[in-house]
Amino acid sequence: MLGNLDDNNAAWLKAQAKLILAMSRTFLFSSESVNEGHPDKLSDQVSDAVLDACLKADPHSKVACETCCKDNMVMVFGEITTKSKLDFDSIARKAVSDIGYDSFQDDLESVASKGIDYKRCEVLVRINKQSPDIAGGVHVGKSELDVGAGDQGIMFGYATDETEDCMPLTHLVATRLGKKLTDVRKDGSLWWLRPDGKTQVTVEYKQNEDGSVEPLKIHTVVISTQHAEPGKAKMADELKDEGTEPAPKKAKKDCVAPSMEEMNKLITTHVVEATLNEITLKNGKKAISLYGKHTNMHINPSGKFIIGGPQGDAGLTGRKIIIDTYGGWGAHGGGAFSGKDPTKVDRSAAYACRQMAKTVVASGLAKRALVQLSYAIGVAKPLSLFVETYGTHQGQLTPEAITDIVKINFDCRPGALAQSLALREPKYQCTAAYGHFGRTPFEKDGCKFFEWERAKDLKKYAKLTPAQVKDELKKSDFLTKWVD
């Protein structure tokens, strides 16, 4: 029938058909995460431990630190210019120890080997100073606010109103499950767990007419976690070097690890259900309300998982960039975070993009937001700013108007970000596991942690028209911060 209509009418009908489909659409989306004991995350944590050691003594350190690990070896390499005197060996060993890796046997049939031993591992170091070519183009002879980007690149930030943290539910649950696995291991509740592990969560969503997404139910949970030998491992042997106090207190150190079947039951109650009871949805209900008999559970689906850590797989800094961000939602520019000082916009500008996106959503300007920045090496001002609302912008606002609002209220020059987000503080090691976003900001020992998670209050713009926003932009000093 469309062939009998003129082109304009045909196009209109096709658009309406797509709209109707969008209004009724449901879909499945999955996100994964890994524990702090995963070899790639071990590498991230060592790299950020080195960064923290540099910044603690010299806040203007220039750091590009990579780490790799395999079997009972950790290698730290990269480019660092700092006034700090660094003991790389001690820094690496402490990071490995904090994770809980305290035994290694060069035997893949061993049930005692956890994957690496912080006391006996080999630590290799290959570090030189930052290239003088880069230093001269980026920061030498420049004021704080004129410091250029450490490299070219694109960065993204994402936010959604489906949870109180403005994070996608799939990623939030996957990440928090991994953190809970670590918590119950370290507090002794499930003492037979070991550091390595992975999680994955699938949620059924409804895409609403306005472009927002609404989680309907938790469809699938996958957990693969390293553990001691079922039915044989003794608590006294497993915890001999961790200093972990068993819980409950009645537990005796001659306890034996449960069977695989019992392990899976305990993981379901102590990890999955406990985690879901801690996450709040936008409707005020807990995420456990989306979980039930309909949820497909796969706990250690491949069977036993005793050998793990670097003995099971090699690890490298920067290989978990989707886990570090939004679990596949939004977009990613490709740059990793860990081991990089604030002049590296792969990290600092990605933090800024998250704060801008979260501010847009938390202020009620849109229900979902994706923000992109781009930079050139040695240039302070971002080259471009892009805001996508997926059609969820509110009131009379448009994506263009929201872009102007962001320009008025944010300064994304690297030097400005270092100041506003307090990025020259030694506070990065805790970001290197369980996600850089959706975390609760706090202050400790004079440092402001996860400062980019503090959304600005821009509710005053919600009732403005695009013309009024444009007037506000013209009155502002945005050209000192942004290109026109």
pLDDT in tens, 20-45: 555 569 999 999 999 999 999 999 99
Give the residue among 456, 281, 459 at the shortest CA–CA distance from 357. 456
Active site residue 261: no
Q: Transcribe 388-402 into DSSP letters.
A: E-TT-B-TT--HHHH
Active site residue 462: no
Which tens digit of pLDDT belongs to each residue from 317-336?
999 999 999 999 999 999 99
Residue-level pLDDT at 3: 45
Active site residue 198: yes
Residue-level pLDDT at 23: 59
**Active-site residue, selected from the candidate residues 62, 114, 319, 439:** 319
Active site residue 265: no
Active site residue 114: no
Q: What's the mean pLDDT when you consider all of the chain?
A: 92
DSSP class of 82: -
Give the residue among 127, 119, 54 at the shortest CA–CA distance from 90. 119
Region of 247 (left: φ > 0; alpha: ψ -120 to 50; beta: rest) is beta
In the structure encoding, which two tokens stand for residue 211, read together?
Answer: 């472009």
Residue-level pLDDT at 14: 58
Give the residue among 308, 258, 248, 310 at the shortest CA–CA distance from 92. 310
CATH 3.30.300.10 domain residues, the chain: 153-158+345-480, 168-304
In the structure encoding, which two tokens stand for residue 268, read together?
Answer: 């379901």
Mean pLDDT of 249-269: 85
**Active-site residue, selected from the candidate residues 313, 332, 424, 462:** 313
Active site residue 7: no
Active site residue 41: yes
Residue-level pLDDT at 31: 98
SS3 label, residue 241: coil
Measured from the Cβ of residue 44, the count of other Cβ atoms closer than 10 Å reads 32
pLDDT at 241 over 70: no
In the structure encoding, which two tokens stand for residue 255, read together?
Answer: 């306890």
Mention the CATH class of domain 153-158+345-480.
alpha beta
pLDDT at 175 over 80: yes
Topology (CATH level 3) of domain 168-304: GMP Synthetase; Chain A, domain 3 (3.30.300)
Active site residue 481: no
Q: Supply angle C-alpha 373, 377, 378, rounded to 5.
A: 115
Measured from the Cβ of residue 268, the count of other Cβ atoms closer than 10 Å reads 15
Residue-level pLDDT at 2: 43
Active site residue 293: no
Tell me how long the chain is: 484
Provide the sign of the torsion angle of the four alpha carbons 34, 35, 40, 41, taken in this order. Answer: positive
149 φ, ψ to 5°?
-65, 140
Instruction: Give the separation between CA 159 and CA 329, rounded to whole angstroms.
Output: 9
Report whether the peptide linkage leading into residue 399 is cis, meaning its omega lies within 30 degrees of zero: no
**Active-site residue, selected from the candidate residues 44, 52, 66, 161:** 66
Give the residue among 53, 13, 26, 35 at the shortest CA–CA distance from 427. 53
Which tens digit of pLDDT belongs to each residue from 435-469?
999 999 999 999 999 999 999 999 999 999 999 99
Active site residue 314: yes
**Active-site residue, selected from the candidate residues 29, 104, 156, 305:** 305
Active site residue 66: yes
Residue-level pLDDT at 239: 85
Instruction: Give the separation between CA 200 and CA 181, rounded to whole angstroms.
Output: 13
pLDDT at 419 over 50: yes
